[in-house]
Structure 1
Amino acid sequence: MDDLMNQPQHIDKVLNKQCHTEIANNRLQLKVSIDVVRVLALQDIQNIRGQGYDGASNMRGESNGLQALISHDCPYAYYIHCFAHRLQLALVAASKAVIPVGKFFDRLAFIINIVGASCKRNEQLKLAQDFEFAYLIDIDELETGRGLNQKCTLQRAGDTRWSSHFRSISSLIKIFSPTCEVLLKIIKEGSTSSRQGRSRHSL
């Protein structure tokens, strides 16, 4: 009753409960999927001797993680933190220690955040791509055909996602001119002085 009288607190509890329930369901679904694959591959789950995932608590948790569910059926399936994931984290940490590289990715993150901050900006980016496609086709610099010249968005880099930094840079290179057009519009509109200044600095 006290929670109902305190609506913000009650809402937080409901949301947290839903989140925990969803996490548990997703974890169980993933375990079932793994079991199905092993059955199809004619592998006995009792013969498993190892399991490796990323370091997220819902995966490596000793009580409620996926590794706990697998270990319950096969106690000899020892868990190790995925080496590819650990390498990704090490590379990200090492790159941030190099000041020019760290500044580059900070600026890249800012550009992606400000250009993709709203539906309005996303529409401006799509429109700028349309104009660029039309211009390049008009001067015979762009090949046309089915499946070609697809509009794309800026990809956000994630410290735990393998190759996401490469995809983020590639997406900016691919739509560099349209992105600059959106940044110029932000500078002209001048929504806030700080955003306007950082947008100008990014160009």
Structure 2
Amino acid sequence: MRYPDDVAPFGSMPMNPTSDDWADLAGLTTMDDPAAMFVPQDFIVPAGWVTRLSLGLSQLTDDGVDTTGPRGADIVELGAAQVEAMLELTTLTRPGPFLRRTTVFGGYVGIREGGQLLAMAGRRLSMPGWVEVSAVCTHPAARGRGYAKRLTTEVVRDIRADGDRAFLHVAHGNPARSVYEAMGFVIRRDDLKVVDVARAENAPGPPSI
């Protein structure tokens, strides 16, 4: 399976995909429209495919995050009506894939000043009992004010209010990891990666593996 290409680039397959699974994914992707997946470090991309990105990740869960404080009055809800400002901020800060309809995942909050969106955070992938925190970013001119911590806490609060737990991914070497750990996030796995795979240009159809 794969999300619509204007929502998110992520796809999914079984943990030990067969040639039929790869053939299914081939029907949903092209060289210009790859699929991203969170996988173990030893995940093998077969012949007939091109790996455009392979980035090591840590996965953290919200075990010790304190959400008992009040919500700040300057935190606002974000959605489709604010998508242009959200796209502008994510293009500048590059927190990860954010597309025109990514807002359908819901739960986006931000901080504005003088009509400009300075920081945001929201939700992305979900499964029974768990929801991913994503798109945490702050305009360079507003860094150091604690906006990312406050907005991440607010997203976690809302996820818990729905009866779920929060998790997130952070790239190996990203200094944001220490911020998340200071908030109470706990490392669940250090051996993950995100891969961006596309059918090889010379593969005319679903590959035979």
- Specify the TM-score bucket, using the shorter chain as the normaliser: under 0.3
Q: Of the two, which has the highest radius of gyration?
A: 1
Q: Which has the higher strand share?
A: 2
The normalised TM-score by structure 2 is 0.23
TM norm structure 1: 0.24
Instruction: Kindly indicate whether structure 1 or structure 2 has the higher relative contact order, using CA contacts under 8 Å at least 6 residues apart.
Output: 2
Q: Which has the higher helix share?
A: 1
